[in-house]
Amino acid sequence: MLTPPSEPAPLLPGPVRRVAAWCLVVLLVAGVGLIGVRLCEELRTAVVPVLLALLGTALLGPLHRRLVQAKLNRSLAAGVTCAAVVAVVGGAAYIVVAALVDTGDQILASLKQAGRSLSEHFGAAGTSLDDLASNARELMGKFGGTAASGVISGISVMGEVIAMAVLALLLVFFFLRDSHRAVGTLRSLVPRQSGDTVEAMARRAYEAVEGFMRGTTFIALIDALCITVGLLVLRVPGALGLGALVFVGAYIPYLGAFLSGAVAILVALADRGFVIALWALGVVLAVQVLEGHVLQPVIQSRTVQMHPAVVMLAITAGASVAGILGMLLAVPLTAAAFGVVAELRGRYASSADGGPEAPPASPSAPEPFS
């Protein structure tokens, strides 16, 4: 009786093959991600307005929904929402710019004084700070010239920014007006058997971005108000400008709060002395403790929770790709990615355990990702 030939032994053990397979997957994902980043960088004039419009839609979605529930036409509700955001952002920008213009020289002078004071005690470190404050305008001019030289076809940086802002505003209008069609459009682009999974992933990503934007805006407002009031009580010069800096910096987690708080403390040290600087440090630390232990857990409890190390890595990667704009976009995009991963993990984990899959989102919901 003939015996069947035995199968040849594998060249590599099972654990080694599994590690090799995972390495191949990681390299493939990294390659696709690198190509995607390069394409976005080349098409930044179109990609950046889309990303900003998605963030704006996530932030303004609740207002638009309330207007629609009040029996207002969807187009009119979207137009009113966009007009409101233009008025609010324009007014806030005017206040911030006016405050920074009025107090900018005072803040720079205080920083120079702080640099001279530190140089008397710490030598070269303080001298470097003094030089940085003295040459701030020259550095900004050089940065602006470098950025302008890289714009295609000789378009100025300001013109490009205005064009992207207008495009983003128009996209916000269309995204809000046609938000009820997003589910149908998304399902039409994917295979029918994957529609429920893709829709659930999109909902989780959108909910993460929406929660992040609303929570961060509210937290930034509270931080700016508390620190501004504290600096006004301490009679620190340029309190309004420093408060505006805190509000803008709050959109860059951890790093923005650290930098804006450090500037406020240095200004207090230069103009009001060591004791007032300690009080300013106490105000900044108290606000940060309030944010970390009260505001963040309460306000952003429904968003994707990320470890501070992940946030810092995301900010660093965003800065290396797109500068300040990349730092602003890195965290919400990472939150969206974490939401997608959490949805996939929940679905496939339930399938692997033999339990029922997560129920698909209803395609007849009045709003797509609310």
Tell me which amino acid residue 239 is. Answer: A
Q: What pLDDT score was predicted for residue 143?
A: 46
Instruction: Tell whether the torsion through CA atoms of 307, 308, 309 and 310 is positive or negative.
Output: positive
Q: What pLDDT score was predicted for residue 28?
A: 92
Judged on CB neighbours under 10 Å (0-12, 13-18, 19+), 152 is: exposed
**Mean per-residue pLDDT over the chain, rounded:** 75
Judged by average pLDDT, the poorest of 18-22, 166-170, 172-176, 350-354 is 350-354
Tell me which amino acid residue 328 is. Answer: L
The CA distance from 167 to 20, in Å, is 45
Percent of the chain with pLDDT over 90: 2
CA nearest 65: which of 169, 175, 171? 175
Is the pLDDT confidence value at 161 over 50? Answer: yes
Q: What is the maximum span of the chain, computed from C-alpha positions, in angstroms?
A: 101
The CA distance from 340 to 333, in Å, is 11
First-to-last CA distance in the chain? 69
Is the pLDDT confidence value at 365 over 60? Answer: no
CA nearest 161: which of 315, 324, 38? 324
Judged on CB neighbours under 10 Å (0-12, 13-18, 19+), 237 is: middle
Instruction: Tell whether the torsion through CA atoms of 40, 41, 42 and 43 is positive or negative.
Output: positive
Q: What secondary structure letter does DSSP report for 367?
A: S
Q: Which two tokens stand for residue 295?
A: 């505001």
Is the pLDDT confidence value at 325 over 90? Answer: no
Q: Which two tokens stand for residue 282?
A: 């106490």
What number of residues does the chain have? Answer: 370
pLDDT tens, position by position, 215-258: 888 888 888 888 889 988 988 877 877 787 788 778 777 777 77
Q: Which two tokens stand for residue 279?
A: 């009080």
The CA distance from 315 to 326, in Å, is 7
Q: What pLDDT score was predicted for residue 5?
A: 58
pLDDT tens, position by position, 91-115: 766 766 666 666 566 666 666 666 6
C-alpha distance from residue 278 to each of 76, 132, 265, 267 (Å): 52, 23, 8, 12
pTM of the full predicted structure?
A: 0.65
pLDDT tens, position by position, 178-206: 888 887 888 888 887 777 888 888 888 88
Q: What are phi and psi of 307, to 5 degrees?
A: -70, 145
Q: Name, in order, each residue with C-beta under 8 angstroms of 226's C-beta and a sequence gap of 6 or more.
A: 283, 286, 287, 290
pLDDT tens, position by position, 130-154: 555 555 555 445 544 444 444 444 4
Q: What pLDDT score was predicted for residue 363?
A: 43
Long-range contacts of 104-107 (CB under 8 A, 24+ apart): 104/238, 104/241, 106/237, 106/238, 107/237, 107/238, 107/241, 107/242, 107/263, 107/267
pLDDT tens, position by position, 21-35: 889 988 998 898 888
Helix axes 195-233, 308-352, angle to 10 degrees: 150
Residue range 348-357: average pLDDT?
60
The CA distance from 16 to 12, in Å, is 6
Q: Which two tokens stand for residue 326?
A: 């990349």
Q: Which residues of 191-223 are buried (b: 16+ CB within 10 A; e: fewer)?
A: eeeebbbebbbbbbbbbbbbbbbbbbeebbebb
For 47, the 3-state DSSP assignment is: helix
